Chain A
Amino acid sequence: MTELYSLMETVDSWPIEPSLFVTSRQIWATELGQLDRTYVVGECDRNKPLHIIATFIRSVIFAIKERPDVIVTTGSLPIAIVCLVCKLFGTKIVWIDSVAQIDELSLSGKLVKKIASVFIVQWPEVAAKHPKAEYVGELL
């Protein structure tokens, strides 16, 4: 969340400001302080197929209800699932891979790269490895 908070400090200058939030954990939804417009899709990782299914179902509900125009996200896997589902409904994806990914893309980044409209990484060496990845700065 620290990377997201860093980005959120700058959103006042965007032509469109965020109107909805999606996170994997209730505690972060509470921290964000916009409970009436925050969806919680649940935590999951690659080793927990049942959790992945649960997140997928919540993502479908979110996609059908909200049909976001754009998702801007710093990851990780639960939100990658949200992105994949929303893409089917025409949502554009702006993905920012984590600053912790110093040598290579994250797994969730690899899943989303093909469908992202903008794919940002936070190390020039990683951008050099992937034609679509852009290095434009860093959040931390």
Chain B
Amino acid sequence: MIFVTSGSMLPFDRLFRSVDSAVESGLLTEPVFAQIGESRYLPQRCEYVRFLDKSVFDDRVKNASLIIAHAGIGIIMAALKTNTPLLVMPRLARLGEHVNDHQESTAAKFESLGHILSFTEDTLPQRLKDLETFSPRPRNPNVQGVSNRIADYLESLNPSR
């Protein structure tokens, strides 16, 4: 199952049009399920809903063989957590898809770190080929580093402890 999601904020018709095209031209052969949020475009080639409960959403993320999504930090982290390959299309401000272009930076950053792949309408066929040999690099956050810095600061306030 391929899971397509655009998050819950502004519409992102372009993502769902691309996926429909890809299914139509035979580039995507697995069943596709989409969570379309506020999209005005209604998918013709797959089952879809507008919104999902968190537990259902998490299940979809975990069980998908591939996730195709906007370049939101939430879905990126969710995909990394379950080691599900993620292909993102950044929302663009000039197309009214977001308030700024930070999704382009997000996509570029996480792609350069080997965690995801990024695409536009034109590059989708190539990216789907690249996915055949793509394995997401796991992210190993150094939470203890942040925690220790804070602990050290708190210690400095209470040296008698």
Contact = CB atoms under 8 A, between A and B. Distances in A.
Contacts of A120: 146, 149-150
Nearest to A99: B73
A118 B150 contact: yes
Interface string A105-122: 000000000000110101
Contacts of B144: 10, 137
A103 B102 CA distance: 8
Contact of B143 (A7, A15, A70, A94): A7
Contacts of A134: 149
Given A102-B102, A138-B141, A15 B154 contact: yes
A30 to B, nearest CB: 15
Interface class of chain B by DSSP? helix
Interface string A4-23: 00110111011110000000
B94 interface: no
Nearest to A138: B141
Q: Which bracket fits the contact residues of A?
A: 20 to 34
Contacts, number: 79
Contacts of A32: none
A94 B157 contact: no
B27 interface: no
Given A15-B154, A70-B157, A120-B149, A10 B143 contact: yes
B90 to A, nearest CB: 12
A102 B107 CA distance: 10
Nearest to A104: B102
Contacts of B102: 102-103
A139 interface: yes
Interface of B: 73, 77, 102, 105-106, 109, 139, 141-151, 153-155, 157-158, 161
13 contacts: A7-B150, A11-B147, A13-B147, A14-B147, A16-B157, A94-B150, A102-B102, A136-B146, A137-B144, A137-B146, A138-B143, A139-B141, A139-B143
Interface of A: 2, 6-7, 9-11, 13-16, 69-70, 72, 92, 94, 96, 99-100, 102-103, 117-118, 120, 122-123, 134, 136-140
